Amino acid sequence: MLFGGSKIIHFDLEKYYKRQIVLRELGREGQEKLRQSKVAVIGLGGLGSAATQYLALAGVGHLRLVDQDTVELHNLHRQVLYSLDNLKFPKVEAAAKRIEQINPDVHVEPIPENVRESNVKNILDSVDCVIDGLDNMRTRYLLNRICVDRKIPYVYASAIGIEGYLSVFDSPKTPCLKCVFPNLDDRDLLTCETRGVLGATTGIIGTMEAMETIKLLAGIGDTLKNTLLTCDFYDMYLARVEIYKNPKCPVCGEAKAEKNVEVAEQLVWLCGQNTVNVNPRVRLKISINDAYNFLNRHFEVLLKSSFVVVFKHKGAEISFFEGGRMIIKNVKSKKEALEIYDSIMKHLEANMH
């Protein structure tokens, strides 16, 4: 039984999926394959939120949702899982609640984390497919490497302005991301902050990601393996470009490079003005409730949920997550961000002893 407003609703799975089960391409067998699948969506912005919505509606049984950020007003024109009521909440928390409302048959695993070398293997553990909802190549290359190592299909997409790209990487049967885009540097690429983005752009490309994922999981149709789809919505020009493996690729080629141990993962600037993610040097053993009790005595707390405490400090807005990770907004330099972070951590650590 579900509660919809003041009414009690009986959730009938047969009726919910009726229009899908009747599809000869999918049928009951395909629907059950979807229900038994586990998918990781990395990034819940414009692409990830659109893809997640349609994966949930299609009945993918387990969605592992990963995003480091909170909902901001400028997200809402394109990030379809959120509303004004979700402002300042972690995206994974708001997304999980929304999915429960549209399809309670789906198990949602929200992970409010910054994906990095030290946690990516755990994040991608035991998933059947990885969905790219990211806005940076650094993290994409990291995901690509793990997907190649574990032979996990990786549905890649990117979107900016009114253009988008889409492909399915499934090494060793296809090229990997590094074969196709070997040396892209985020510092040289346009961002939503500088180029802008139309909500319909991320909506179309994210929905296409969901379609490719559904086809992969259910074993229907032909996917974009070995193909890069380029979309220019200015004149609705769509082109399919054949892509090939690079035998010298350092990730999937014959001469694989030694795995480098990445350093300097503590601080990462987010796509947006003056916003930085700071990871703890050592994970802090303090619950959200205990952190809230301390922070509420010393700072102006704006919001507290099961995942985050949002508060003000020295003109900055800070989102504190369990373990000590923080998103710090309204800062202009690494030095300023780390000074704020270290001062808060010092007080929290002293309070624990």
DSSP structure class, residue 161 = B
Confidence grade of residue 107 (pLDDT, cut at 50, 70, 90): very high
For residue 301, what are its two tokens? Answer: 């707390």
Confidence grade of residue 237 (pLDDT, cut at 50, 70, 90): very high
- Rounded mean pLDDT of the chain? 92
For residue 35, what are its two tokens? Answer: 């229900």
Residues 32-60, mean pLDDT to the nearest whole number: 98
Whether omega before 280 lies within 30 degrees of 0, making that bond cis, reads no
To the query of whether residue 192 is one of the catalytic residues in this protein, the response is yes
Report the alpha-carbon distance of residue 96 to residue 87 in Å, rounded.
15
Q: Which long-range contacts (CB under 8 A, 24 or more apart) does 304-312 make?
A: 305/89, 305/90, 305/93, 306/93, 307/89, 307/90, 307/92, 307/93, 307/110, 307/112, 308/70, 308/89, 308/90, 308/93, 308/112, 310/70, 310/88
Query: At a CB cut-off of 8 Å and minimum separation 6, what does 339 contact?
Result: none
Residues 1-28, mean pLDDT to the nearest whole number: 81
Report the alpha-carbon distance of residue 277 to residue 328 in Å, rounded.
6
273 CB neighbour count, 10 Å cutoff: 11
Report the alpha-carbon distance of residue 305 to residue 125 in Å, rounded.
27
The CATH fold assigned to 267-352 is TATA-Binding Protein (3.30.310)
Q: Is the pLDDT of residue 175 over 50?
A: yes
- Catalytic one among 129, 176, 179, 192? 192
Q: Angle CA(116)–CA(119)–CA(125) in degrees, nearest 5?
A: 125
User: 99 with 92: CB under 8 angstroms?
Assistant: no
Residues 76-92, mean pLDDT to the nearest whole number: 97
Q: In the prediction, which pLDDT does 304 show?
A: 97
Q: Residue 166, Cα to own-chain centre: how many angstroms?
A: 16
Q: In the prediction, which pLDDT does 2 show?
A: 57
**Domains 2-242 and 267-352 belong to one CATH topology:** no
Of 277, 253, 296, 251, residue with least CA distance to 334: 277
The architecture of the domain spanning 2-242 is 3-Layer(aba) Sandwich (3.40)
301 CB neighbour count, 10 Å cutoff: 15
Report the alpha-carbon distance of residue 126 to residue 105 in Å, rounded.
20
Q: Is the pLDDT of residue 8 over 60?
A: no
Give 122-150 pLDDT, tens digit per residue. Answer: 999 999 999 999 999 999 999 999 999 99
The share of the chain scoring above pLDDT 70, in percent, equals: 93
The per-residue b/e assignment along 7-30, b for 16 or more CB within 10 angstroms, e otherwise, is eeeeeeeeeebeebbeeeebeeeb
Domain ranges of the chain: 2-242, 267-352
Residues 225-244, mean pLDDT to the nearest whole number: 97
Report the alpha-carbon distance of residue 156 to residue 48 in Å, rounded.
11
Lowest mean pLDDT segment, chosen from 2-11, 233-242, 333-342: 2-11
